[in-house]
Amino acid sequence: MGFVGRGLRTIQPAFIQDETASVTGQCSTSLIAARVMAYNKPVLSFLRRRKESHVAPYLVNPGHCPVCARDVVFSSPDAWLRDHYLCSNCGSIPRERALMTVIESFFPTWRELAIHESSPSQRGASKRLSEEAPKYFASQKFSNAVRGSMVDNVRCEDLEALTLSDDSVDLHVTQDVFEHVVHPARAFKEIARTLKPGGAHIFTVPLVNKSNPSAVRVIEDGEGREVHVLPAVYHGNPISDEGSIVTVDWGYDICQAIMEACGLFTHMIHIDDLTKGIRAEYIEVLVTVRPR
């Protein structure tokens, strides 16, 4: 769960074509190079490499990457920026940079905090958090391991039934995980139970339904069997060749769903900032806060 190339285009292919056409349109590499002549050497170097490969970027600009904390070039060869607008240094994608920006803004002392991330990737914000926060730990929902046990230094946890103690975690982090949870209300409740006062759940989840109500795609029949209410959609999952079934098409009403599940308020933050390489569809960052 929670990874690049997960096929979201198949859910909502209509995207920002009108808007992005005004950004780079179908410009040639040389025209784009002229436009950014005032930028720095890394951009021009990047464009030269692009010209050699005969591929004109859809969007390219210099900036400072919130994930790797370097001055870099952000570029995308494709209009679907969500998966293709990459950092030239760390390869991060927009939602990862948005998440890291929010963590830095809300919790600038994150390196000192107890951070639990469910289903992390091996790169992007997950890598940064794991490398710089000594109390960071990751978990995966392994189907063949006991909850709370360790599998290759990764803890086995089910978000719907965490083995973690009450008030034990400063930050829960999930990246594109909650569209795969069968009982999200249980998971939100578990996260609230295990958060320390003043802690938060900081997460991304594709809000594909936007202003329309969230739509449940999969329910459980009461005997543990998953029933498809809507046609099955899967996203890539690095720990399973079968992929992860999408259980909910979330909309902006997710904040109300979280409130009803666990009583906590959720901020919804949308960032559009090219200097940080943050522009794409479905990159809202949600921050559910447990008051002190």
Footprint of Zn ion (CB under 5 A): 65, 67-68, 87, 89-90, 92
For the CB of residue 82, give the shortest distance to Zn ion in the complex, in Å. 16
124-132 and 94-106 are packed helices; what angle lies between their axes, rounded to 10 degrees? 40
For the CB of residue 68, give the shortest distance to Zn ion in the complex, in Å. 3
For the CB of residue 64, give the shortest distance to Zn ion in the complex, in Å. 9
**Among residues 67 and 254, whose Cβ is nearest to Zn ion?**
67
Dihedrals φ, ψ of 264, to 5°? Answer: -105, 145
**Among residues 126 and 139, whose Cβ is nearest to Zn ion?**
126
- Helix-then-strand count for the chain, H and E: 8, 17
**Among residues 68 and 208, whose Cβ is nearest to Zn ion?**
68
User: How far, in Å, CA of 91 to CA of 124, rounded?
Assistant: 7
CB 241 within 8 A of CB 197: no
For the CB of residue 98, give the shortest distance to Zn ion in the complex, in Å. 13
**Among residues 71 and 220, whose Cβ is nearest to Zn ion?**
71
User: How far, in Å, CA of 92 to CA of 90, rounded?
Assistant: 6
**Among residues 90 and 261, whose Cβ is nearest to Zn ion?**
90
Half-sphere exposure of 132 (CA within 13 A, CB side): 15
CB 51 within 8 A of CB 65: no
For the CB of residue 63, give the shortest distance to Zn ion in the complex, in Å. 9
List C-alpha distances in Å: 256 to 129, 266, 268: 29, 8, 11
For the CB of residue 66, give the shortest distance to Zn ion in the complex, in Å. 8
CB 244 within 8 A of CB 1: yes
User: How far, in Å, CA of 51 to CA of 197, rounded?
Assistant: 53
Dihedrals φ, ψ of 120, to 5°? Answer: -75, 165
For the CB of residue 90, give the shortest distance to Zn ion in the complex, in Å. 3
**Among residues 60 and 68, whose Cβ is nearest to Zn ion?**
68
**Among residues 9 and 123, whose Cβ is nearest to Zn ion?**
123
